[in-house]
Amino acid sequence: MYEHEKVIRFTAMEDVNEFVTAAGQCDFDIDVYGSHTLVDAKSLLGMVAMGLKKDLIVRYGENDNNFENVIDKFVIA
pLDDT for 39-67, tens place per residue? 999 999 999 999 999 999 999 999 999 99
14-21: list long-range contacts, CB under 8 Å, 24+ apart: 15/52, 15/73, 15/74, 16/44, 16/47, 16/48, 16/52, 17/44, 18/70, 18/73, 19/47, 19/70, 19/71, 19/74, 20/44, 20/47
User: How many domains is the chain built from?
Assistant: 1
User: Do the domain assignments include residue 57?
Assistant: yes
The residues facing 75 across adjacent strands are: 8
User: Do the domain assignments include residue 45?
Assistant: yes
pLDDT score, position 77: 64
Radius of gyration over alpha carbons of the chain, in Å?
A: 11
Tell me the pTM.
0.94
- Domain containing 48 equals 4-71
Contact 42, 70 (CB under 8 A): no
